[in-house]
Amino acid sequence: MSEPVWVPLGAAPAALASKDLRPIQLSTPHSTTLAGNAFWGVTAFTDSDIGRWEFLKDVDGMVTGICAIPPSLAASPAPKIRLALTASIGGGVSRMEVATRKIADATHFGTALLLEPAVDVALNAVANVQKVVEVPLTQEVMTPGGILVVRIAHRGAHANDTATGNTLLFGAWLETNI
C-alpha cells in the first residue's frame, strides 16, 4: 500500500506531481527549561474548533515532533518544512526557527539537532489569518527512509520579534520532491 501524498497549503494540482508532503507529529512542548511558553490549545470558530500550538509572546518557546522521511526522494531541490502560522491578536513579526535531525536505524534519538537560519514572519494584522512559511533544510543531508526529528521554536525574546499577541502554529509539514 502506498503512502498518501499530502496536499500543500495553497498549491495548484499540477505542482503536486513530484511532491510529497507529510505532516509532522508535534507532540512535545519543551519543558526542561521553557516550561509553559508553548502549549496545546484550541481556537473556537463559528463552525469548528481547531487545535493548535500556542507560543507566548515576548518569550522563547519550543515544540518537538517526528515525521517519516519518504522511502524515495529527489536530491534537488532541498526538502523544506512548511509552517501554518497565525496570530492570536494580529500584527507584528514572529521570529521562528527550525532544527532537525534524521534518525536512521541504530541512531540515538538524543543526537544533536541541526539548526536552520531563523525566519522573521510578518503576521497578518487580522487575527487567525493564515501565513504559510517555508524553511529550506540546508543543514541536514536528507536521504530516503528513517525518521526526522523536528523542533520548531518561537524566539519571542529576540529583538526582531514584535508580535502583538501570541503566535499560533496550526500545522507543520515536511515537503520533499519524489
How far is 60 from 71, CA to CA, in rounded Å?
34
**Which tens digit of pLDDT belongs to each residue from 64-98?**
999 999 988 887 788 999 999 999 998 899 999 99
The number of distinct structural domains making up the chain is 1
- Strand-pair partners of 5: none
Local structure of residue 51 (DSSP, 8 states)? E
Report, as an integer, the average pLDDT of 18-47.
92
pLDDT confidence of residue 177: 87
Q: How far is CA 110 from the centre of its chain?
A: 20
2 CB-contact burial (10 Å; exposed 0-12 / middle 13-18 / buried 19+): exposed
**30 lies in some domain:** yes
Secondary structure element (H or E) that encloses residue 164, with its range: none
Tell me if residue 14 falls in helix, strand or coil. Answer: helix
**92 lies in some domain:** yes
Secondary structure element (H or E) that encloses residue 122, with its range: strand 119-122
Q: What is the CATH number of the domain that holds 94?
A: 2.60.120.200
**5 lies in some domain:** no
Tell me if residue 36 falls in helix, strand or coil. Answer: coil
- At which residue does the C-alpha cell 525574546 appear? 157
- Strand-pair partners of 23: 173
Report, as an integer, the average pLDDT of 153-168.
96
**12 lies in some domain:** no
**51 lies in some domain:** yes
Q: Does the pLDDT of residue 59 top 80, yes or no? A: yes
How far is 106 from 114, CA to CA, in rounded Å?
19
**4 lies in some domain:** no
**7 lies in some domain:** no
**Model pTM?**
0.88
**9 lies in some domain:** no
- Domain range holding 84? 18-177
Distance in Å from the first CA to the final CA of the chain: 17
